[in-house]
Amino acid sequence: MQALVWEGPRQMNLREVAKPEPAADEVLIRVAFSGICGSELGGYLGHNSLRVPPLIMGHEFSGEIVELGANALAAKSSLAVGQQVTVNPLISAPWSKAALKGRHNLAMPRNILGIHRPGSYAEYITAPAANVYPLPAGMSLEHAALTEPLACAMRAAKLSGCTATDSVLITGLGPIGLLTLQAVKAMGVQQIFATDTDTDRIEIGKHFGVQVLNPREDNVVNIVKEATGGGVDVAIDAVGATPTRRECLEAVIPGGKVIFTGLHDEESNIQANLLIRSEISIQGSFAYTPLDFEHAFDWLAAGRIEIDQWLVKAPLAEGGACFERLLGKPGPVAKILLY
């Protein structure tokens, strides 16, 4: 089969590789669409320690079941050849202590499609039957491929604990930031600030009726504090760079909460004394639980997310060029889906 193989920093090439065979508890899926994630951009540059070349990346995807493993129906009896599906790519032991606490995303060891095993930048992929979700009537394959990033966004929004009376700052309007913005709005929050340095993403944010600031031109902390009378209740960093992490800490009120979900910088110097003296809570948000994934799936099936006008679709053979586009000047793009 054809697969897009990451072979080193900024080296993404279309190769002929062996078609995978499903294990007894797995299914074989013909991939329809596979999204490019921000963490994969870091991997593409060689900045992600979890991804080791050569690797077939890709973990946000949809497709069609073409083969069932011998015991696949024992894991999920509703599956059938020919079904259109999406997949939760995070594979964890169901009886681990973390899973029993409802935190499957923290179970160790864990395996993620496109990181620890071949992913969806290929014609075919295998996945555990238990992680496969058949699409309901009327749900598009494009929307199904967005379930994974929306699940990440919904978890960050949920962990923030924000309510309708809170004010919220979201740094970064890439795919996760944009989806988090929509999740926070759906929770009833009326006063939302967002930041980005890309003019096209700033316009996308303004489409949702929020105040979008450019940290290259605006003093984000001062503007937010003046508009709120002291700071936001919650700040969510969807970038993961040291400046955005520091910005979030400075922008919240004493007793406020900061969610770190962006993974750009491995380490950051932050204002520890400010954090202590203001009793600011910092919460990490990693991936999602199965329940978060199901909620995201249901939201997309119900049409609760607006993103179609900023989706770009490109053939798998142009994957390398798409990665470069996202690292440069991508234009009004929320997500690139490879097909």
- Percent of the chain residues past pLDDT 70, beyond the cut: 100
pLDDT at position 268 is 94
pLDDT at position 39 is 87
| Residue where a domain stops, chosen among 284, 315, 330 | 284
Residues 207-223: pLDDT tens digits? 999 999 999 999 999 99
Q: Is 173 found in the same domain as 127?
A: no
Q: Is residue 296 part of a domain?
A: no
pLDDT at position 265 is 86
Q: Is 245 found in the same domain as 186?
A: yes
Please state at what angle helix 220-228 crosses helix 242-251, rounded to 10 degrees: 20
pLDDT at position 180 is 98
Q: Is residue 299 part of a domain?
A: no
pLDDT at position 42 is 87
Domain with 205, as residue range(s), is 153-284
Q: Is 127 found in the same domain as 17?
A: yes
Q: Is 41 found in the same domain as 128?
A: yes
Q: Is 257 found in the same domain as 212?
A: yes
pTM for the predicted model, two decimal places = 0.95
Q: Is 136 found in the same domain as 17?
A: yes
Q: Is residue 291 part of a domain?
A: no
State yes or no: pLDDT of 224 exceeds 80: yes
Q: What is the CA radius of gyration of the chain?
A: 20
Q: For the chain, how many structural domains are there in total?
A: 2
**Average pLDDT of the residues of the chain:** 96
pLDDT at position 184 is 97
Q: What is the mean pLDDT of residues 23-48?
A: 93
Provide the CATH number for the domain around residue 104: 3.90.180.10
State yes or no: pLDDT of 276 exceeds 80: yes
Q: Is residue 99 part of a domain?
A: yes
Phi, psi of 43 (to 5 degrees): -65, -40
Q: Is residue 90 part of a domain?
A: yes
State yes or no: pLDDT of 48 exceeds 80: no
CA atoms within 13 A on the CB side of 236: 34
Q: Is 121 found in the same domain as 22?
A: yes
Phi-psi bin for 55: left (phi > 0), alpha (psi -120 to 50), beta? beta
Q: Is 326 found in the same domain as 276?
A: no
State yes or no: pLDDT of 264 exceeds 90: no
- Percent of the chain residues past pLDDT 90, beyond the cut: 93
Handedness of CA 13, 19, 22, 26 (dihedral sign): positive
Q: Is 40 found in the same domain as 22?
A: yes
Q: What is the mean pLDDT of residues 128-151?
A: 97
State yes or no: pLDDT of 234 exceeds 90: yes
pLDDT at position 110 is 85
Q: Could you write out the three-class secondary structure of 258-318?
A: EEECCCCCCCCCCCHHHHHHCCCEEEECCCCCHHHHHHHHHHHHCCCCCCHHHEEEECHHH
Residues 61-116: pLDDT tens digits? 999 999 999 999 999 999 999 999 999 999 988 889 999 999 999 998 889 999 99
| Residue where a domain stops, chosen among 269, 284, 299 | 284
Residues 158-178: pLDDT tens digits? 999 999 999 999 999 999 999
Out of 37-51, 82-96, 182-196, least confident range: 37-51
CA atoms within 13 A on the CB side of 19: 10
| pLDDT category of residue 323 using cuts at 50, 70 and 90 | very high
